[in-house]
Each structure stands twice: as C-alpha cells, then as structure tokens.
Amino acid sequence: MSRLKDKYALITGGTSGIGLETARQFLEEGATVAITGRSSAGLEQAGRELGSSVHLIRNDSGDIAGQANLRNELERRWPRLDVLYINAGDVTHRPMGEWDEATYDRIMAINLKGPFFLIQNLLPLMPNPSSIILCGSVSAHIGLPQSSIYAASKAGLASLARTLSGELISRGIRVNGLIPGPTETPALAKLGLPPKGEQALRQEIRDLVPVGRMGKPWELARAAVFLASDESGFVVGSELLVDGGVGNL
C-alpha cells in the first residue's frame, strides 16, 4: 500500500498505544517515519516492534528548549517534513481538590504549550502541501468528572487546529484535530490503580460509549492515515471524532 509514499512523517509519543500503531500503519503505507518518546527503553522496544527503518528520537514533549534539538535532528536526516502528528500527551485525571500547580503546569506543558512551540520550530521544514494532525480528546466535548485540566488542555489543542489552520493555509499546511474517544491503550495502566479498580474504571468508560466498547488503536491510526494523506486535501481546521459516538450522541 502506498497512500503515504515519499512522505516524511514525525509522530510524537510514538512508543505505545495510538502513536505506535499509527507509526506501524504509516510505515506500511510507504512513509519514512520518526517517532519520539521520553524513555530510551520505550523507544528501543518500539524500534524492535517497528523494525530498523523507523527513526527513534528521544524527546520530552513538555521540554520547550528541546524542540530546537528535535528540529536539528530532523534537518540532519530528512529533506523536509510532510506530516507532523502530535500525539504525545499526559492523561492525568484527578478530583479538583487534589490538583497542585506543579502538576497543572506539567500537563499544560505537554499537552498544549509544547505542541504549539514544536509546530513553531518545525514550520521551516514543512513544504506545500503538508499536514499537521493534533491528537485531542472527546473529554473536551463532555463533562467527565476528574478530567478538568486534561480536558481543558485538549480543548486548547482543538482551538489551535482551527486558528493555526487560518494562519498556515496560505502556506499549504493543513491543520486538523483527530479526536479519540475511550481507547484501549496502556495509558489506563499508568494511573496507578489496583487491578480491581482499573477493571471497574474500564467498565465505567465502556458505559459512556454508545457503541458499547472502547476503541482500538488501529481505528485511530486509520483516521490518522487519512488526515496525513493527499486524500484529505480538502479537510482543513476540522475535528475528526473517532469516539464511538461519545461526543455526539
């Protein structure tokens, strides 16, 4: 398959879940792919799964100073950047009374501030045409308890998809939001819940979804392939909900 043939694509947060599966599908569709991750061990494991053709770059999405280093790395390797998929994110959920300033600042740095300055840094590498995909969350569309700061950060990202579209479309750069609903990824296991608590949370999440199940990473990855490809050349400033109906029903 060759829907992304001759395209150079960067996926942030590509070591697990949606990002890892998207990298796999981008490679299968003919793209040259780089992924980022904070953990050397995570990058090494992703490299074993994806094969030697993927480029592995250690990067913390919340480290603004490190964005220039990422740009330099890509400039050294590639002639251009056709697709930027900002997938890295912090999924911390807490009751309102348990938030502190440090955790607030960290989630905003990873989910909103970092993506903005990464786009700013990488713009000189992006040709006409090219595509930027911002991974949001259906949490920004609903009133899910304990998601306050997470949802706010993702709402900001959705706004960027619209405002940056207006600013960059004259350069041939399309910006769109990809909005997952509840998805079966390792992120839930990182919440630190005991097994029974995690199982109960998964059931609560399933109960939110009109289709009666959580999404699968490959379903989100297929949508990312569409937004990265020339097939979506008339799709600009949109939010593509792949959420089992959570945001609309």
State the DSSP code for 42: H
The catalytic residues are 150
pLDDT in tens, the chain (249 residues): 799 999 999 999 999 999 999 999 999 999 999 999 999 999 999 999 999 999 999 999 999 999 999 999 999 999 999 999 999 999 998 999 999 999 999 999 999 999 999 999 999 999 999 999 999 999 999 988 889 999 999 999 999 999 999 999 999 999 999 999 999 887 766 665 677 767 877 787 888 899 999 999 999 999 999 999 999 999 999 999 999 999 999
pLDDT value at residue 192: 58
Handedness of CA 192, 197, 198, 201 (dihedral sign): negative
pTM exceeds 0.85 for this model: yes
Identify the structural domains of the chain with CATH numbers, from first to last: 8-242 (3.40.50.720)
Of 214, 90, 87, the residue nearest 152 (C-alpha): 90
Instruction: Name the burial class of residue 186, with classes exposed (0-12), middle (13-18) and buried (19+) by CB atoms within 10 angstroms of its CB.
Output: exposed
